[in-house]
Amino acid sequence: MNAAGVGSPARRETADVRDERQLAWAYLSRVVLGPCPALTALIDSVGVREAARAVRERALPPVLRAATERRRELDTAARDLEMIRDSGGRLITPDDAEWPAWRMLGLAQLTPGRDPDGAVPLVFWVRGGRDLSELTERAVAVVGARCSTGYGDRAAAAMAGDLAVRGWTVISGAAFGIDSTAHRAALAVGGATVAVLACGADRPYPAQHDRLIARIAETGLVVSEYPPGTVARKHHFLVRNRLIAALADGVLVVEAGLRSGARNTVKWARRIGRPALAVPGSVESAASAGCHRMIREGEATLVTGPEDVLAEIAPLHLPLTAGSTGADRLGDTESRVLTALPAVGGRWPHDIAAATGIAVAEVRVALVALDLAGMAGRREVGWYRLSRAVEQDR
Amino acid sequence: MNAAGVGSPARRETADVRDERQLAWAYLSRVVLGPCPALTALIDSVGVREAARAVRERALPPVLRAATERRRELDTAARDLEMIRDSGGRLITPDDAEWPAWRMLGLAQLTPGRDPDGAVPLVFWVRGGRDLSELTERAVAVVGARCSTGYGDRAAAAMAGDLAVRGWTVISGAAFGIDSTAHRAALAVGGATVAVLACGADRPYPAQHDRLIARIAETGLVVSEYPPGTVARKHHFLVRNRLIAALADGVLVVEAGLRSGARNTVKWARRIGRPALAVPGSVESAASAGCHRMIREGEATLVTGPEDVLAEIAPLHLPLTAGSTGADRLGDTESRVLTALPAVGGRWPHDIAAATGIAVAEVRVALVALDLAGMAGRREVGWYRLSRAVEQDR
């Protein structure tokens, strides 16, 4: 299997094997504590159980030995899984149907040597009952200054609230300021929201947002690539930002000072092909200086309201892969999904699954394959077939 | 002679001939009342006196007959010249050394059929004692909403004032709101400012700005392509905007509603190769909506202060001409001016004139020729020679 997991539906395995694989994922997640492209490559090559065995036995190339040495003897996998369950959560791995493989495509294509922190996460430790793929099917990241102003809070609330009402999931980092305003605005309208943490999902940070994070878990998801109990370190926040960008269709920065972490999230967004958007403000406000600089330097597109945001993010921006192929390679599932797509308007995966009898997870994988083949696209109302595909289908 | 007048120094003529030519220019200006590419072409081809005779005698092709029919018998040239003199002004024509030929290059290159309103003006009727070429040597247009807000007025005043202190002439349209704020800010710091009117230069519009316009004429210039006494019509404002753009190195919009005339000025700026800049503001303010749209649609670059403005406008943006040539065609004057240019830092025309003994008007023409030949450039501190020119000079 490959790290992004595209086109590799979960294997049908015995419960024992599944448990064993889950323990292996949990173990490796604890050992590397964050992105580790060399380990991802090893798992791609030999499978997760074999990779875990190699790490335990130190049967590794030097680069991986260094990365795993410190905690390889610390096998707390069973306890970690229990801890996440105790906090009302679970571990999501590439073995699971809800693994958001298509969301990870951009990260999977980064060059590990140049972006060591940009690797596809091994796993997601989550709190909350929602399906991660479904929840991030249409999603916008709303991030910004911790020291936001009244203006920024109003803009963040108005835009996140409006997008949530329209069915877009609001993704953010649960920080003070713009982040929490965006989460709260989505919750206030009964919309969906996802918090991506730089610490364990069971360990609310900042502590003052304990209650907010619990509310997010009730109706949305609290997500982390770090095992339960992990304390957030400075570097974790920068690495976490790539997941905020990857899980969303675009990154909206509402306010940002010149040294804001939001610029880091925008950098990840650009690196993996997600539109980056910024809200302007007064030139007299330091809280807007970072937004202005990003707009001026072409790093972000100026947006003034939800309509502007949707114009940028509703069309899907999948990264082009070298192996993108045409209709000649379409499998049976892709062909049936393609037939179910309208040329006018759009249709969402659940609807397509109901119409075709194909599992929704497989529908999603098929849609990504069709998009990469240039035969399907996404607009605000759902997926549609491109005219090129219509011709080929005749 | 050609309309832009580049490289055609004023002829040495008898006073009588000069007077006769000036009367011809004044007569034609009154007949067409604004840009008339067909007349400009005729003057280019047969000279101004012959063109005036042809118009008087109706010895014209149909297109020009229609454009001149209504007022061709209305020869008020002598009276118009008297009127402008009475208001402390004068007529500037392409015969004069101060004619800003290089500023008109962009307009001269527009396609008359597509941009009939974009013709090089026949003449400038001006009030004020300053030399028009000298005053617009380094100039920035600051325009914006008539219904400006306190925020917009502060931004306009801060930026126009700062640019004026640094020696940049502030050009605007003397309208309510941002325009007058920009003029006043330049005056307040003892800087230079130019008002380009859509009516006769002797006829302050709006009337409430009578005193402001008089003050501008005292230290700067009040400029119009319309003869004295002309009443501003709606169309005149749109046509006037091309002159605001052409006389400046760039157009800065401080506030603009969605239907602001500032967008028209920005369109002219883009058409003739001048940078267009816009100041962002609150997304809650209708007075910034036009700025945001221009930034979002790539029509203007976001700027937050004078440093941003200078980064965009200090390097000269001359329109590329088809006939741009290299060093092999340099005349004696160009060679001497080139020799006087530093490779590091910069030098202004007056200084070059003093050092070389060449008249400043000729220095300016030579600098434009050197720029178009890719051998000289302009930065904030003045003109400099490009390394390519240094090599060729060795």
Q: Mind listing the pLDDT tens digit for each residue in A7-66?
A: 444 455 688 889 999 999 999 999 999 999 999 999 999 999 999 999 999 999 888 998
Number of neighbouring beta carbons within 10 Å of residue B167: 13
Number of neighbouring beta carbons within 10 Å of residue A216: 28
CA distances (Å), origin A298, targets A242, A277, B306:
20, 10, 19
CB contact under 8 A, B284 and A308: no
| Burial zone of B163 (CB within 10 Å; 0-12 exposed, 13-18 middle, 19+ buried) | buried
**B275 vs A contacts (CB less than 8 Å):** none
**B281 vs A contacts (CB less than 8 Å):** 280-283
| Burial zone of A11 (CB within 10 Å; 0-12 exposed, 13-18 middle, 19+ buried) | exposed
Which of B153, B154, B253, B283 should one mutate to test binding to chain A, selecting the residue with the greatest count of A CBs within 10 A? B283
User: B89-92 and B124-127 as β-strands: parallel, antiparallel, unpaired?
Assistant: antiparallel
Q: What is the pLDDT of chain A when averaged over all its residues?
A: 91
Residues 305-334 of B with CB under 8 A from A: 305, 308
Residues 332-371 of B with CB under 8 A from A: none
Q: Is B178 on the interface with A (CB under 8 A)?
A: no
Look up residue B234 and give its amino acid. K
Q: Is A282 on the interface with B (CB under 8 A)?
A: yes
Domain boundaries, chain A: 12-75, 132-313, 327-393
Query: ipTM value of the model?
Result: 0.85
Whether residue B206 is preceded by a cis peptide bond, meaning omega within 30 degrees of 0, is yes
CA distances (Å), origin A250, targets A143, A262, A293, B165:
11, 13, 18, 42
- Helices B332-340 and B360-372: crossing angle in degrees, nearest 10, is 90
CB contact under 8 A, A288 and B280: yes
Partner-chain residue, chosen from A279, A282, A292, that has the shortest CB–CB distance to B151: A282
**B151 vs A contacts (CB less than 8 Å):** 282, 284
The stretches in chain B having pLDDT less than 70 are: 1-13, 319-329, 388-394
**A160 vs B contacts (CB less than 8 Å):** none
CB contact under 8 A, B288 and A280: yes
Partner-chain residue, chosen from A280, A289, A296, that has the shortest CB–CB distance to B283: A280
- Is the CB of residue B107 less than 8 Å from the CB of residue B240? no
**A292 vs B contacts (CB less than 8 Å):** 280, 302, 304
Third-level CATH fold of A132-313 = Rossmann fold (3.40.50)
Which of B154, B253, B282, B293 should one mutate to test binding to chain A, selecting the residue with the greatest count of A CBs within 10 A? B282
Look up residue B190 and give its amino acid. G
As a residue count, chain B comes to 394
| A320 — pLDDT class (breaks 50, 70, 90) | low
CA pair distance A189, A173, nearest whole angstrom: 19
- Is the CB of residue B171 less than 8 Å from the CB of residue B251? no
Q: Report chain A's terminal Cα–Cα distance, integer Å.
A: 34
CA pair distance A199, B241, nearest whole angstrom: 57
Question: Following CA atoms A76, A80, A86, A87 in sequence, which dihedral angle do they give, to the nearest 10 degrees?
Answer: 140
CA pair distance A120, A92, nearest whole angstrom: 13
Partner-chain residue, chosen from B281, B303, B305, that has the shortest CB–CB distance to A282: B281
Whether residue A349 is preceded by a cis peptide bond, meaning omega within 30 degrees of 0, is no
**B292 vs A contacts (CB less than 8 Å):** 280, 302, 304
- Is the CB of residue B125 less than 8 Å from the CB of residue B237? no
Q: Is B155 on the interface with A (CB under 8 A)?
A: yes
CB contact under 8 A, B295 and A292: no
Is the pLDDT score of A267 beyond 70?
A: yes
B-chain residue closest to A286, CA distance: B304
Which residues are bridge partners to A221 per DSSP? A194
In the prediction, which pLDDT does A389 show? 52
Higher pLDDT, A361 or B124: B124
Of A175-179, A246-250, B192-196, B361-365, the least confident? B361-365
Partner-chain residue, chosen from B279, B302, B308, that has the shortest CB–CB distance to A302: B302
In the prediction, which pLDDT does A12 show? 56
CA pair distance B10, B97, nearest whole angstrom: 6
CA distances (Å), origin A287, targets A181, A300, B33, B150:
15, 16, 50, 20
Look up residue A83 and give its amino acid. M
Q: Is B276 on the interface with A (CB under 8 A)?
A: no
Q: Which residue has the tokens 């917009």?
A: B152
**A304 vs B contacts (CB less than 8 Å):** 283, 289, 292, 296
In the prediction, which pLDDT does A321 show? 57
| Burial zone of B76 (CB within 10 Å; 0-12 exposed, 13-18 middle, 19+ buried) | middle
**B289 vs A contacts (CB less than 8 Å):** 304
Q: Residue A44 is encoded by which pair of tokens? A: 């791609």
- Is the CB of residue A246 less than 8 Å from the CB of residue A220? no
**Max CA distance (Å), chain B:** 63
The phi and psi torsions of B253 (rounded to 5 degrees) equal: -105, 125
Partner-chain residue, chosen from A154, A155, A281, that has the shortest CB–CB distance to B280: A281
Distance from CA of B243 to the nearest CA of A (A): 27
Partner-chain residue, chosen from B151, B292, B308, that has the shortest CB–CB distance to A296: B308
CB contact under 8 A, B289 and A295: no
CATH number of the structural domain A327-393: 1.10.10.10
Look up residue A235 and give its amino acid. H
In the prediction, which pLDDT does B328 show? 57
Is the pLDDT score of A192 beyond 80?
A: yes
In the prediction, which pLDDT does B286 show? 97
List the A251-253 sheet strands across, edge first. A89-92, A124-127, A221-224, A193-196, A169-172, A139-143, A251-253, A276-278, A301-302
- Is the CB of residue A386 less than 8 Å from the CB of residue A375? yes
CA pair distance B320, B311, nearest whole angstrom: 20
CA distances (Å), origin A140, targets A4, A209, A220, A298:
21, 21, 14, 20
- Contacts of A68-74 with CB under 8 Å at 24 or more apart are A68/A31, A68/A32, A68/A39, A71/A30, A71/A31, A71/A32, A71/A33, A72/A31, A74/A30, A74/A31
| Helix, strand or coil, per DSSP, at residue B382 | strand
- pLDDT > 70 in chain A, percent: 92
In the prediction, which pLDDT does A343 show? 92
Q: Is B258 on the interface with A (CB under 8 A)?
A: no
B298 Rama sector, left if φ>0, alpha if ψ -120 to 50, beta otherwise: left
B-chain residue closest to A159, CA distance: B283
Q: Which helix (H) or strand (E) holds B234?
A: helix B234-247
Partner-chain residue, chosen from A151, A280, A305, that has the shortest CB–CB distance to B280: A280
Which of A254, A282, A303, A312 should one mutate to test binding to chain B, selecting the residue with the greatest count of B CBs within 10 A? A282
| Helix, strand or coil, per DSSP, at residue A359 | coil
Distance from CA of A109 to the nearest CA of B (A): 29
The phi and psi torsions of A223 (rounded to 5 degrees) equal: -125, 140
Distance from CA of B308 to the nearest CA of A (A): 9
Q: Mind listing the pLDDT tens digit for each residue in B133-185?
A: 999 999 999 999 999 999 999 999 999 999 999 999 999 999 999 999 999 99
Q: Is B84 on the interface with A (CB under 8 A)?
A: no
**B295 vs A contacts (CB less than 8 Å):** 280, 295, 302
CA pair distance B212, B174, nearest whole angstrom: 8
Look up residue B102 and give its amino acid. W
Q: What is the pLDDT of chain B when averaged over all its residues?
A: 91
CA distances (Å), origin A207, targets A175, A178, A199, A213, A219:
10, 17, 11, 9, 20
Q: Which helix (H) or strand (E) holds B304?
A: none
User: A301-302 and A193-196 as β-strands: parallel, antiparallel, unpaired?
Assistant: unpaired
CB pairs under 8 A between A and B: 55
**B155 vs A contacts (CB less than 8 Å):** 283-284
CA pair distance A277, A263, nearest whole angstrom: 11
Query: Please, what's the b/e burial string for A279-303 (b: 16 or more CB within 10 A of its CB; e: otherwise)?
Result: bbbbbebebbbbbbbbbbeebbbbb
B-chain residue closest to A309, CA distance: B296
In the prediction, which pLDDT does A391 show? 47
